[in-house]
């Protein structure tokens, strides 16, 4: 038995709290156990078996256990994650949007809607019964009639195919069109959650999704968020970029002042072209006439470490209770469904890809609903995702937060030859997160009896 490389410790008045990032377990332990774990002298501990169960010690190669979890999730054939993109058009033009180049794509035709339903039926017939479904864009409410009618048709197809729509349908929207009446219509067709992204202090109706208007009053977006909450479960996502990071405290104040505390989170704006230093070669340019996406001349993003510090200093103190940090400390099998092989992103022209970033990029698709009796794989794109594993990258295999991050967003590694690891914020803030949670947890003073599960 040897101590885990994924152990973290916090001293408090009644002992030492240990956290293991592979299992997500916390345990209160004596100084003797703590010292044994740090000196690799655990053999005589009476708590050895419970320490092993909770992951603080292990036998053999510990990374194999994480890799086995990664592989077993990929081997599951009962998941079906649908991301439906009826249009890439948008009523705003956020400067950092990775879809700005694809605006002129078509809206789902009647033929594509029917072919999408057939595609879903085929996946259900393969045994994929645990279904998640999210509307994405562009701005999906620009195609509201399609969203409404297809939501009902998809629910019926899933039910008749023996599937379960876990958590109902979801929608990602900028909320410009999400007034109370629209939210009610969405709820009536089975959409239960809306994720609404904002990114500015002042709403300008064009490039900035702000929380106040030019007079300083709450913006139309804030009004819509409040109205939508009457009918839907709403998560507000504040996109943090180099341009808006200094306004973040005031943006969050406005949301708090408008009764929206506890329903917003923050997320770093990514720019893969900027980070990889590469232009994104769409290849599809030959088919669509689209140019390559160049890397920006000026930085648009907050650096990953700086973003993690922003969360620590400005966002986490607003959280109501340490339990809100537990999702960050919950081990993952995969970073997202794209690498699991269960994600099907269907774009306006019917192209099917694994990744949200690939909507509108035929060169990254592996089939099209119009020619998919079975998803005839584009060998190159299918194997690009299947070959991906964080265990292929030394930075990740050496990393002490690997079980929590699992290599981060894989798209820049799969398609853009990224050289740097796409580290999640937890990489730079794990000790602070463990400190906060460990100090708040109620734990029994004996490692053999203790243990709180992050997932709980």
Exactly one of 399, 418, 450, 452 binds ligand SF4 (CB under 6 A); that residue is 399
CB closer to ligand SF4 out of 429 and 436: 429
CB closer to ligand SF4 out of 123 and 357: 357
Using CB under 6 A as the binding rule, whether residue 424 contacts ligand SF4 is answered as yes
Please report the DSSP string for 32-76 in residue order: HHHHHHHHT--TT-TTHHHHHHTTSEESS-HHHHHHHHHHHHHH-
Using CB under 6 A as the binding rule, whether residue 97 contacts ligand SF4 is answered as no
Using CB under 6 A as the binding rule, whether residue 422 contacts ligand SF4 is answered as yes
Using CB under 6 A as the binding rule, whether residue 396 contacts ligand SF4 is answered as yes
Contact 162, 111 (CB under 8 A): no
CB closer to ligand SF4 out of 25 and 427: 427
Using CB under 6 A as the binding rule, whether residue 304 contacts ligand SF4 is answered as no
CB closer to ligand SF4 out of 230 and 417: 417
Task: Give the up-direction half-sphere exposure of residue 328: CA atoms within 13 A in the CB hemisphere.
Answer: 25
CB closer to ligand SF4 out of 369 and 410: 410
**From the centroid of its chain, how far is CA 283?**
27
Using CB under 6 A as the binding rule, whether residue 170 contacts ligand SF4 is answered as no
Q: How far is the CB of 272 from ligand SF4 (least distance, A)?
A: 8
Task: Give the up-direction half-sphere exposure of residue 371: CA atoms within 13 A in the CB hemisphere.
Answer: 9
What is the H or E stretch that residue 15 is in? strand 15-20
Dihedral sign (CA 75, 78, 83, 86): positive
- Give 435: exposed, middle or buried? Use CB within 10 Å, 0-12, 13-18, 19+: buried
Please report the DSSP string for 269-325 in residue order: ---HHHHH---B--STHHHH-PPPBPPPSS--S--HHHHHHHIIIIIGGGSSSGGGG
Exactly one of 427, 437, 443, 451 binds ligand SF4 (CB under 6 A); that residue is 427
Q: Considering only 30-38, 248-256, 416-424, 442-450, which stretch makes contact with ligand SF4 by CB under 6 A?
A: 416-424
Residue count at the site for ligand SF4 (CB under 6 A)?
22
Q: Considering only 51-59, 99-107, 273-281, 400-408, which stretch makes contact with ligand SF4 by CB under 6 A?
A: 400-408
CB closer to ligand SF4 out of 210 and 390: 390
Using CB under 6 A as the binding rule, whether residue 319 contacts ligand SF4 is answered as no
Residues 354-393 that bind ligand SF4 (CB under 6 A): 355-357, 390
Dihedral sign (CA 71, 60, 455, 318): negative
CB closer to ligand SF4 out of 178 and 426: 426
Contact 281, 273 (CB under 8 A): no
Using CB under 6 A as the binding rule, whether residue 423 contacts ligand SF4 is answered as yes
CB closer to ligand SF4 out of 209 and 357: 357
Q: How far is the CB of 367 from ligand SF4 (least distance, A)?
A: 17
Task: Show the tokens assigned to 341.
Answer: 């092989």
The torsion defined by the Cα of 180, 183, 184 and 187, in degrees rounded to 10, comes to: -160
CB closer to ligand SF4 out of 390 and 451: 390
Q: In whole angstroms, what is the distance from residue 49 CA to residue 33 CA?
A: 13
- 20 phi, psi to nearest 5 deg: -115, 120
Using CB under 6 A as the binding rule, whether residue 408 contacts ligand SF4 is answered as yes
Using CB under 6 A as the binding rule, whether residue 331 contacts ligand SF4 is answered as no
Using CB under 6 A as the binding rule, whether residue 401 contacts ligand SF4 is answered as yes
Exactly one of 232, 405, 441, 454 binds ligand SF4 (CB under 6 A); that residue is 405
Q: In whole angstroms, what is the distance from residue 430 CA to residue 148 CA?
A: 42
Q: In whole angstroms, what is the distance from residue 390 CA to residue 138 CA?
A: 30
By CB under 6 A, name the binding residues for ligand SF4. 336, 338, 355-357, 390, 395-396, 399, 401-402, 405, 407-411, 421-424, 427
């Amino acid at each position: 038995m040897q101590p885990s490389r994924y152990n973290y410790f916090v001293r408090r008045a009644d002992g030492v709290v240990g956290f293991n990032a592979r299992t997500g377990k916390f345990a209160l332990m004596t100084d003797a156990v703590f010292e044994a774990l740090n000196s690799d002298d655990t053999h005589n501990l009476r708590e050895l078996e419970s320490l092993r169960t909770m992951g603080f010690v292990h036998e053999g190669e510990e990374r194999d256990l994480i890799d086995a979890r990664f592989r077993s999730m990929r081997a599951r054939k009962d998941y079906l994650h649908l991301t439906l993109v009826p249009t890439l058009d948008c009523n705003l033009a956020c400067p950092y949007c990775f879809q700005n180049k694809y605006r002129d794509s078509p809206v789902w035709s009647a033929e594509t809607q029917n072919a999408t339903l057939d595609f879903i039926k085929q996946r259900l017939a393969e045994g994929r019964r645990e279904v998640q479904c999210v509307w994405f864009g562009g701005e999906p409410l620009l195609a509201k009639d399609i969203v409404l009618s297809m939501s009902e048709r998809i629910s019926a197809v899933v039910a008749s195919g023996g599937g379960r729509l876990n958590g109902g349908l979801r929608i990602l929207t900028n909320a410009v069109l999400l007034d109370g009446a629209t939210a009610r219509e969405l709820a009536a067709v089975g959409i239960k959650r809306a994720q609404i992204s904002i990114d500015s202090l002042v709403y300008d109706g064009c490039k900035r999704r702000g929380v106040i208007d030019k007079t300083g009053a709450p913006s139309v977006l804030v009004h819509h968020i409040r109205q939508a909450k009457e009918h839907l479960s709403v998560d507000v996502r504040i996109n943090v970029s180099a341009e808006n990071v200094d306004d973040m405290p005031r943006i969050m104040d406005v949301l708090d002042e408008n009764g929206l505390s506890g329903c917003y989170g923050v997320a770093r704006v990514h720019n893969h072209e900027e980070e990889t230093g590469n232009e994104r070669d769409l290849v599809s340019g030959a088919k669509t006439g689209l140019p390559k996406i160049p890397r920006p001349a000026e930085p648009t993003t907050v650096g990953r470490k700086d973003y993690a510090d922003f969360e620590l200093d400005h966002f986490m103190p607003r959280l109501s209770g340490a339990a809100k940090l537990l999702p960050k400390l919950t081990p993952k099998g995969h970073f997202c469904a794209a690498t699991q092989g269960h994600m099907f992103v269907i774009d306006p022209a019917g192209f099917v890809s694994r990744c949200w970033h690939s909507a509108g990029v035929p060169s990254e698709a592996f089939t099209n609903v119009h020619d998919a009796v079975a998803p005839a794989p584009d060998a190159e794109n299918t194997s690009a995702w299947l070959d991906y594993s964080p265990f292929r990258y030394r930075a990740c295999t050496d990393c002490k937060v690997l079980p929590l991050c699992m290599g981060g967003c894989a798209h820049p590694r799969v398609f853009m030859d990224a050289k740097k690891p796409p580290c999640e914020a937890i990489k730079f803030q794990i000790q602070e997160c463990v400190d906060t949670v460990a100090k708040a947890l109620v734990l029994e003073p004996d490692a053999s009896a203790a243990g709180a599960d992050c997932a709980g």
